[in-house]
Structure 1
Amino acid sequence: MNYTKWHRVGLLMILAVVLSSCKLGRFVVYNFADIKDYKKFPSRALVSHERKFRFDSTSNGKYPKAIKVGNRKDSISLDRLLESHSTVAFLIIRNDTIQYEKYFKGYNRESIIPSFSMAKSVTSILIGCAIDDGLIKSVDEPVTHYLPELEKNGFGKVTIKHLLQMTSALDFSESYFNPFGEAASFYYGRNLKREVSKLKLKGEPGKTFDYVSGNTQLLGEVLASALKGKTVTQYFQEKLWTPLEMEYDGSWSIDKKNNGTEKAFCCINARARDFAKIGRLYLNKGAWNGRQIVSRKWVEESTKADTTEGGADYYKYQWWLPSANGDFMAEGILGQYIYVNPEKNVVIVRMGKNGGGVNWSDFFIALAGYADRH
């Protein structure tokens, strides 16, 4: 290799180091959210329980072996449909029994997959646990009771409920394509507390639904303040990971290695089967094998449509409501889902490399009703 080539290589190496040291550089290098992102960020560990809960399974599950999707005239096997639409893990659980479990594209039962925004639903559960524990008084408290530094930014009228409902009027760009927007700063940045301290409002709270991740990160900060020294991951371990007898270790990504802050809006890293247990907990109204983990009242309040104070009829307390029939789901970018249908006693987990161009909520609803017809 001649001097010019070595010079070019050296410049590229220096550029890579400089870029990787800042938010913009990480945005350029990583480009966009990816299913392997759990490897890019530091994290806090979640340790599996010595006793493992495992779903029953059957080889005679009632699910469609071949189905039609969209405008297709012919039927396609469920396996082929999932694999051809960027799915890496798919579980159908009915009556506590795995009816269908398949992995694709080199993934298997032990593969770690990031939750992305499904973490928002988990953050909501932890807020409910904190209310049960008396650490937070109610959803009607102003967030400034826990984050007084935001008073100067006009947050005195913003309540915890506004954050849960996504009706806070937060001035926040949710675009992950904009390297200078808040979403990129929250995802790729290394100082979430500083980014939170800069947040402002663009209107009156309680008027309009606007889905932005800043609301959930604020919930995470409220929770962290209420915990008084315990990390959000430690509380997650105590209230959910251990009681639900998770099968595998997991983690929650943080912004930096030393005294980092959990990315409450996005980044829990786990296996598909353990994500399914979050669905089972809410399917059973917050109870787990006879023990009430989070109050039934909180579960019902969290998953019932409420259009007052600007709320949307398809979203409640960090859970999506895909129909008017009592079903609900956690959803993450790239098509990560925990779908729960209490009427059919069904939990479905779909994890993917991307959304795959499928309307998954309609697909889940159809699958949940299939067993009753066959």
Structure 2
Amino acid sequence: MKIKKRILSALLLSPFLILGVTVIFLSIRYSPTYVYRLITMNIADVYDYKHFENHKIRGAESANRFISQPKEEYIESLFDDLVTKTGFNGFEEWAIESQTTALIVIQRDTMIYEKYFNGFGRDSYFHSQSMAKSFISFLIGAAIEDDLIKSVDDPITNYIPELLERDPRFHKISIKNLLEMRSGLKYNTGLIPFTNIHAPWHDEAVGYYHPNVRKLLLEKVEISSEPGKDFQYSNYNTSYLGLIIERATDVSVSKYLEQKLWSKIMEYDALFSVDSEKSNFEYYAKPFDCPGD
């Protein structure tokens, strides 16, 4: 009887023991801040900018506005099949339950639909997710135009030479490889065994919650395959592009974006989140927050 009780006690304690060991392992490998963010923030959402330090991007003093000719009934009718298939009673209910924040449709120079949901409005901040990647690509082009970057064919080690000390193969990775997501960088997308849940060392999480992403890029990210061949969606590609822009322009990416685009045409200010106050490295792959325009 005592043996059975001990076995039962061991079985009950095992999950807590495994959890404790995992927390200690992740804290040592990535930092306690990483573990805290992983547990408290979990999945990225539109409010994440509130959990990070942010750099402000100044909008234009005077911005052009689109002509407004609303066609609300027509646009919402395009969603009829989707609303019906998902079991909702109408477009508004679908938008709210799907956690839609804004839907804007622009046809040529005319705004034909603009509506906000779930407490959001035109001047609300929202988490732009991977739309930030498009702005980083734009800034690479701007830096080339400004003669600060020679070409997309440049090896990334022209701008981040210390990578050569860790692995000479970094010299084979070009800016173009990063833009096309064909860099060959190692990107862990593993799941917890026997589940469909991302492992806590999944690089989507590591590159998002780590308090020193710059250190990750310079010291930890590895190469797993030949650059220029296989496509692999990886946020590290965009983070390296951001680091290259920093080095080439000698200003932060948010400041360069403000100079080249935002302060010229955008009506509202925006925010660029950073990994931590100490590291002050901007999240070039995801947390870029801007209000509706």
Shorter-chain TM-score bucket reads: 0.7 to 0.9
The reply on whether 1:232 has 2:253 as its aligned counterpart is yes
- Displacement of 1:217: 0.4
The reply on whether 1:194 has 2:209 as its aligned counterpart is no
Q: 1:230-276 CA distances to partner (integer Å, 9 max, x unpaired)? A: 111110000010121x2211110011224611111111110132xxx
The reply on whether 1:112 has 2:125 as its aligned counterpart is yes
For the residues of structure 2 that align with 1:263 and 1:36, how far apart are their CA atoms? 15
Letter in 2 for 1:30: M
Would the aligned equivalents of 1:68 and 1:74 in 2 still touch at CA under 8 Å? Answer: no
Cα pair distance change 1:54/1:233, threshold 3 Å: same
Q: Which moved more, 1:134-143 or 1:27-36?
A: 27-36
- Displacement of 1:90: 0.3
- Displacement of 1:71: 7.4
Look up the SS of the partner of 2:231 in the other structure. Answer: coil
Look up the SS of the partner of 2:153 in the other structure. Answer: coil
Q: What TM-score do you get using the length of structure 1 for normalisation?
A: 0.63
The reply on whether 1:90 has 2:103 as its aligned counterpart is yes
Task: Identify, as 1 or 2, the structure richer in helix.
Answer: 2
Would the aligned equivalents of 2:155 and 2:171 in 1 still touch at CA under 8 Å? Answer: yes
Report what 1:37 is aligned to. 48
For the residues of structure 2 that align with 1:65 and 1:191, how far apart are their CA atoms? 43
**Which has the higher Rg, Structure 1 or Structure 2?**
2
Letter in 2 for 1:269: D
The reply on whether 1:207 has 2:222 as its aligned counterpart is no
- Displacement of 1:53: 2.5
The reply on whether 1:251 has 2:271 as its aligned counterpart is yes
Would the aligned equivalents of 1:47 and 1:248 in 2 still touch at CA under 8 Å? Answer: yes
For the residues of structure 1 that align with 2:87 and 2:110, how far apart are their CA atoms? 30
Report what 1:223 is aligned to. 245
Letter in 2 for 1:120: K
Q: 1:24-59 CA distances to partner (integer Å, 9 max, x unpaired)? A: 122112122121100000111111221133222123
Give 5+ residue unaligned stretches, structure 1.
1-14, 274-374
Letter in 1 for 2:280: G
Report what 2:206 is aligned to. 185
How does 1:288-303 map onto structure 2 within 5 Å?
none
- Displacement of 1:163: 0.4
How does 1:1-374 map onto structure 2 within 5 Å?
21-60=32-71, 63-66=74-77, 67-69=80-82, 72=85, 77-151=90-164, 152-153=166-167, 154-174=169-189, 177-197=198-218, 198-228=220-250, 230-244=251-265, 246-258=266-278, 260-273=280-293
- Displacement of 1:86: 2.2
More relative contact order in 1 or in 2 (CA 8 Å, sep 6+)?
Answer: 2
Look up the SS of the partner of 2:111 in the other structure. Answer: strand
Q: 1:65-100 CA distances to partner (integer Å, 9 max, x unpaired)? A: 422228739997544443342211100111212111
Cα pair distance change 1:24/1:259, threshold 3 Å: closer
Identity %: 35
For the residues of structure 2 that align with 1:172 and 1:78, how far apart are their CA atoms? 38
Would the aligned equivalents of 1:143 and 1:158 in 2 still touch at CA under 8 Å? Answer: yes
Cα RMSD, aligned residues only: 2.5
Would the aligned equivalents of 1:169 and 1:210 in 2 still touch at CA under 8 Å? Answer: yes
Cα pair distance change 1:220/1:97, threshold 3 Å: same
Q: Which moved more, 1:78-87 or 1:131-140?
A: 78-87
For the residues of structure 2 that align with 1:166 and 1:73, how far apart are their CA atoms? 34
Give 5+ residue unaligned stretches, structure 2.
1-22, 191-196
- Displacement of 1:108: 1.4
